[in-house]
Structure 1
Amino acid sequence: MKTNKVEIVKLTSAEISALWATNINVSVVICMMTHFLETCTDPEILKLLEETKQLAEKHMNEIEQVFVKEKIVVPEAFKAEKHVVHKAPKLFSDIYYIQCVLQMSKFGVASHTLGLTISAREDMRILYKNLMDDVSQLYNHVVSVMQEKGIYVRMPFMNYPNEIDFINKENFLTGWFGRRRSLLGIEVTHLMINAFQNEMGMQLCTGFSQVTQDVELREYFLRGKNLCKHIVSSIYDVMEESEVPAAITWDQGVTNSTVAPFSDQFMLFIIGILSNLGIAAYGVGLSSTMRRDISAMYANFLTKTGAFGEDGMNLMIERKWMEQPPQFEAAK
C-alpha cells in the first residue's frame, strides 16, 4: 500500500512559526478592514477594502485548517468582535486606508515569499505559493487604483546609465566631511521606503495617541510619533543635500475623532508591528548603502527603534496582552 509522504512528515519549527505569524497578521488585517469598511466613503476604495477583507478571511480559513489537521492549537490572535469598536467614528482618511492596504500587500508578498522558501513540505509550499499569488494580485490592483486616482507616489526618476564605469576613488565610501558624493539609485530607494513607512507610522501614532484613554499608552504613542518625525526629517535632509526630490504628499490622514476604533491592546500591537518592520527595513538599507554617514544614520535608527519596540513589548507583557509564539521545550 502506497503511503502519502506528506501525511507522515511533521511540520518543522520554521513552518509552524510561519503559520502562527501569518495567522496573527491576517487577523490584524481583518480587524483593520472591519473598521475601515464601516467608515469609508469613497466607492472605489470601499471595493478594494472589501476585496482585502475577503482575501484575509479566505487565508485565515486555510491556515486554521492546517492547524486543525495537524492538531496544533489555533492562536487566539485578534477577533474583530473583541478588538474593533463597532460604529466608532472615522479616525483616518480614505486615502490613508488605501495607503494601508498598499503597505499590507507589500508586507504580505514579502512574508509569504519567506514562508515559501523556508517550507519543506509540499503542501506548505503550495499554500504559501497560493497566498503569495493572491496578495500579488491585490498589490497590483491597489497600485492601479491609486494611479487612476492620482495618489500613487512614485520613486524619484533618474537619468538612464549610458556607459560602463568603475569606482576609482576611496572617498566613494566617505560622507563625514567635505563634499559628499551624490546618492546611488539603490540608496534613494531604501531612503524613500523608510521615509514612506515612517510617514505612515507618524499618522498612526498621532491617531492612536488622541483616542486612547490610557495615559501611559498615550505617552508611548506620542513618543513613537516623535521618533517617526525624527527619522523622516533625517532622511529628507540627506536627500535634499543631493537635490533628490523626496515629496510624499497626501491629504491629512488623521481626523479629529477622540473615540478609539480599536482596543488598546490592538493599537499597541500595531505599533509593535511597525517597529519590527522599521528595524528590518533599516537593516536592509544599512546593507545597501556605500556611504558611511548614511550607515551611521541607519545604525542610529536601529538603536532608537529597537529601544522603542522593546518598551512597547514590555507594556504588552505587563498587561498580559502578548500571546506566546511557538517555542521549543526547555531542556530538562
Structure 2
Amino acid sequence: MNGGKRDLILTNPINVSEVGTLWQTYLEKTLIMRFLEYFIEKADDTQARNILGGLWQELNFYVKEMEELFAEQGMVKPIGFTSEDVHLEAPKLYDNGFDIMFVRVLKEVSMGLYTLNMNMTYNKKVMSIYEGLTTVTQKIYKLATFYLLEKGILSLPPKVTIPKKNTFINSKKYMEGFKLMGNKRALNDLEVGILHHNMEANNIGMQLITGFAQCAQNKEVKQYFLKGKELAKKQIKMMEELLLEDDIQLSATSGATVTTSTVPPFSDKLMMHCIYILNGFSIVGAGTGAFFSLRNDLAMKSMLIAKDIYFYSQEGIEIKIKHGWFEEPPQTEDRSEIIKGNE
C-alpha cells in the first residue's frame, strides 16, 4: 500500500456505526447470494434466471467492495454465509415463481436497511456502497414485481373509489374501533393497503418457513419453524377478518407453492438467520401499521402482532446462540476489563 493511500485511511477511518452496518450488510448479502445460487440452479424460466443471475452479479461486486474496504481498514471480515451453507444438488423445494417472489420480499427488506444505514454513514466510500446497493435493489424490485404480475403469481391490492374532494377528520370517533354497540367506521385506504401488504408478506413467509420446516435437520429448529408457520397463519387470519368486515375482496394470495422435497438445500444456520432478518422486518412493519392505522383496534392488533414476533424472534436468537450460529458483531472496547487487566 502506498503512503498516500495509507494516510487517507488513517485520517478517514470508518466509524463505529459504519462498522456495524457494514457487518450486518455483509451477512445479509452473502445470505442472499447463497439463496440466489440455489434458485439459479433450479430455475426453469429464462426470464427468472436472468433476474436472479443479474442480482447475483451486482451483489458479488458490492461484497468484494466491502471486503476491500475491510482490508484497507485492517478489519477482519465477517464469515457470513459460504458455499457450505447451500447444497445446489438438492431437489427443488419451491415452485411456481417462489424464487422471484422471495427475492422481491428481500428487496423490500434491503430498501429499508439501506435507508437506515445511509443515515449513519459519513465515509464517502461507504456512502457509495449503499447508494449503489439502493439502485440495484430498486431495479430488481421493479423487475420482480412486473415479472410476478405478468405470470399471474402476484395479485394487485383491492380497487377503491377514487376520492374527488378533500375532507378533514372532525371527531375523535374516527379513531374508535373497540365498540360494543354501533358500527365502526370503514377502513381508510391507507389501512387497507397496510393490511393487504402485511397479508402478502405473511403469505410468502408462510410458504418459505413451511419449506424450511420440511428440510430442517435439527429437531429444535424444525419445531421453531413450525411455530413460525402457525404465527404467520394467525396473522393472515386476523387481517382477512378485518378486511371481510368491510366487505373488501381479498387478493393477497401467492401462486407460489412448496414441493414435497425434504432434502435440505440450505444449512440450518442459514435458514435461522434468514428468519431472524425477516422477523426484524416484520416487527418494523407491525410498528408502521400501528402508527399509521388511525382506528384504535387496528393499532392495538398491530402492536400485539409486534409483541408476538418479538418473543418469537428472541426464541430464535437463543437457538442460534446455543448452536454457535450467531456470529458476534464487532463491539467497542470494554474499558472496565482493560483497566482491571492493568491492575
TM range (shorter): over 0.9
Which residue number in structure 2 is paired with residue 170 of structure 1? Answer: 172
Following superposition, the deviation at residue 238 of structure 1 comes to 0.8
Partners of 1:45 and 1:94 within 8 A in 2: no
Which residue number in structure 2 is paired with residue 330 of structure 1? Answer: 334
SS in structure 1 of the partner of residue 97 of structure 2: helix
Residue 270 of structure 2 aligns to which amino acid in structure 1? F
Residue 60 of structure 2 aligns to which amino acid in structure 1? E
Q: Work out the CA distance in 2 between the residues paired with 1:226 and 1:42.
A: 31
Q: Answer with 168-177 or 116-125: which moved more.
A: 116-125
Aligned mate of 2:107, from 105, 108, 115: 105
Which residue number in structure 2 is paired with residue 191 of structure 1? Answer: 195
Which residue number in structure 2 is paired with residue 150 of structure 1? Answer: 152
Which residue number in structure 2 is paired with residue 18 of structure 1? Answer: 21
Q: Work out the CA distance in 2 between the residues paired with 1:93 and 1:238.
A: 30
Following superposition, the deviation at residue 186 of structure 1 comes to 1.7
Residue 310 of structure 1 aligns to which amino acid in structure 2? Q
Q: CA 1:129/1:6 → structure 2, altered by over 3 Å: closer, same or farther?
A: farther
TM-score, structure 1 length as denominator? 0.94
Partners of 2:85 and 2:270 within 8 A in 1: yes
Q: Work out the CA distance in 1 between the residues paired with 2:157 and 2:29.
A: 28
Which residue number in structure 1 is paired with residue 72 of structure 2? Answer: 69
**Cα deviations across residues 305-327 of structure 1 (Å, max 9, x unaligned)?**
11111001000001111000122
SS in structure 2 of the partner of residue 27 of structure 1: helix
Partners of 1:6 and 1:122 within 8 A in 2: no
Which residue number in structure 1 is paired with residue 81 of structure 2? Answer: 78
SS in structure 2 of the partner of residue 298 of structure 1: helix
Q: Answer with 64-73 or 144-153: which moved more.
A: 144-153
Q: Answer with 24-33 or 7-16: which moved more.
A: 7-16
Q: CA 1:310/1:277 → structure 2, altered by over 3 Å: closer, same or farther?
A: same
Following superposition, the deviation at residue 6 of structure 1 comes to 7.0
SS in structure 1 of the partner of residue 271 of structure 2: helix
Partners of 2:213 and 2:222 within 8 A in 1: yes
Size of the alignment, in residue pairs?
330
**Cα deviations across residues 52-105 of structure 1 (Å, max 9, x unaligned)?**
2112211211111111111111000000x2101131010011411110111122
Indicate whether 1:48 and 2:51 are aligned: yes
Q: Work out the CA distance in 1 between the residues paired with 2:112 and 2:260.
A: 34
Q: CA 1:117/1:252 → structure 2, altered by over 3 Å: closer, same or farther?
A: closer
Which residue number in structure 2 is paired with residue 217 of structure 1? Answer: 221
Aligned mate of 2:97, from 95, 107, 130: 95
Indicate whether 1:277 and 2:306 are aligned: no
Following superposition, the deviation at residue 7 of structure 1 comes to 5.6
Following superposition, the deviation at residue 180 of structure 1 comes to 1.0
Following superposition, the deviation at residue 207 of structure 1 comes to 0.8
Structure 2 gap ranges (5+): 337-343
Identity %: 27
Partners of 1:59 and 1:131 within 8 A in 2: yes
Indicate whether 1:320 and 2:338 are aligned: no
Structure 1 gap ranges (5+): none
Which residue number in structure 1 is paired with residue 340 of structure 2? Answer: none
Following superposition, the deviation at residue 193 of structure 1 comes to 2.0
Q: Answer with 10-19 or 154-163: which moved more.
A: 154-163
Equivalent residues in 2 for 1:129-148, closer than 5 Å:
129-148=131-150
Q: Work out the CA distance in 1 between the residues paired with 2:56 and 2:188.
A: 38
TM-score, structure 2 length as denominator? 0.91
Q: Work out the CA distance in 1 between the residues paired with 2:127 and 2:10.
A: 14
Aligned mate of 1:121, from 116, 120, 123: 123
Indicate whether 1:59 and 2:83 are aligned: no
Partners of 1:199 and 1:228 within 8 A in 2: yes
Partners of 2:93 and 2:261 within 8 A in 1: yes
Which residue number in structure 2 is paired with residue 286 of structure 1? Answer: 290
Q: Work out the CA distance in 2 between the residues paired with 1:253 and 1:59.
A: 32
Which residue number in structure 2 is paired with residue 301 of structure 1? Answer: 305
Q: Work out the CA distance in 1 between the residues paired with 2:95 and 2:221.
A: 23
Following superposition, the deviation at residue 120 of structure 1 comes to 1.2
Q: Which runs of 4+ in 1 moved over 4 A?
A: 2-7
Which residue number in structure 2 is paired with residue 235 of structure 1? Answer: 239
RMSD: 1.8
Residue 301 of structure 1 aligns to which amino acid in structure 2? I
Q: Work out the CA distance in 1 between the residues paired with 2:217 and 2:123.
A: 46
Q: Work out the CA distance in 2 between the residues paired with 1:213 and 1:84.
A: 14
